[in-house]
Amino acid sequence: MRVLPSGRHANASPRPEQNLVLRALPVHVRARLFPCLELMTLPSGHHLYEPGDAFSFVYFPVDCVISMMYILTSGVTGQLAQVGREGIVDTSISMGTRLMTNLAVVHHPGATYYLPVQVFRKECARHSELLSHVLCCTQLLLKKVTLTALCNRQHSLSQQLCRWLLDVSDRTNHSEHFLTQQQIASLLGVCREGVTEATERLQKLGVITCERGSMTILDRPELERLACGCYVKLKMESERLILPDET
């Protein structure tokens, strides 16, 4: 763990229940867990964990999005999966893992609740309901990683970009995303020129608009039509495993 942003969240509105894992917990589990939670704001680009870091905290995102990244020996990076309000960073803590194997970086700023690892492990051992939800999150994360790997091999960069934009939009409830094309290329594990070509094609179709350092969705239905089927498949899995009350 490199740096913990200091201070409380400037907006008092974020609540633990906005994280869907915390929302799904029984009342008696919430009563024990919620007083231990702390709220913080995470800026874009902040590294929660780097490979080899010891776990100190577990994070329950509210409206931020965390990218789980791989880093090759050549320095090339790519996104394994992204975690938002539907999940936890990092679920492997519940299985006794002590060191982070990948990079966890904030790519959409916002609020998250966090909990010391020792408290989290103790509560998982005490409450089977919490452990059950953590295991569901782990299963969903594995599906995300698998599907992302298949998508990167089978579908065009334009389709991948559409899927990625829809995925981020679902987690943040925003149509505008403040990322450069180079940052998007790093997340998708492709060259910047490919992202430029794909965004230009989508702009010509009137689906998105781009300005320096930002990208805005203009026509979501058309974006969904242009995306590969991986988006719908992963969304259905998320609803089945994490969001039974929202289906």
Per-residue pLDDT band for 6 (boundaries 50, 70, 90) equals: very low
Provide mean pLDDT across the span 162-191.
84
pTM: 0.79
Count other Cβ atoms within 10 Å, centred on residue 173.
Answer: 9
Measured distance CA(240)–CA(166) in Å, rounded? 18
The answer to whether 106 touches 45, Cβ cutoff 8 Å, is: yes
Same domain, 148 and 38: yes
Percent of the chain with pLDDT over 90: 23
Res 39: pLDDT: 95
Residue 79 lies inside a defined structural domain of this protein:
yes
Same domain, 161 and 140: no
247, two tokens: 């289906």
Measured distance CA(102)–CA(145) in Å, rounded? 12
Same domain, 101 and 217: no
Same domain, 102 and 211: no
Per-residue pLDDT band for 8 (boundaries 50, 70, 90) equals: very low
pLDDT tens readout for residues 92-144: 766 666 777 788 889 888 999 999 988 888 888 887 878 887 888 888 878 87
Number of domains in the chain: 2
Same domain, 199 and 79: no
Same domain, 138 and 223: no
Last residue of one domain, picked from the residues 125, 152, 179: 152
Same domain, 131 and 216: no
Per-residue pLDDT band for 246 (boundaries 50, 70, 90) equals: very low
Mean pLDDT of the chain: 82
Cβ neighbours of residue 146 closer than 8 Å, sequence gap 6 or more: none
CATH classification at residue 78: 2.60.120.10
Query: 214 to each of 49, 146, 184, 210, how far by Cα in Å?
Result: 25, 28, 11, 6
Which range of residues forms the domain containing residue 220?
A: 156-227
Same domain, 99 and 180: no
User: Does position 245 have pLDDT exceeding 60, yes or no?
Assistant: no
Same domain, 143 and 167: no
pLDDT tens readout for residues 12-54: 578 999 998 888 888 888 888 899 999 999 998 899 888 888 8
Same domain, 139 and 167: no
Res 201: pLDDT: 93
Same domain, 59 and 125: yes
Res 35: pLDDT: 92
pLDDT tens readout for residues 134-176: 888 888 878 878 887 788 788 899 999 999 899 888 888 788 8
Percent of the chain with pLDDT over 70: 89
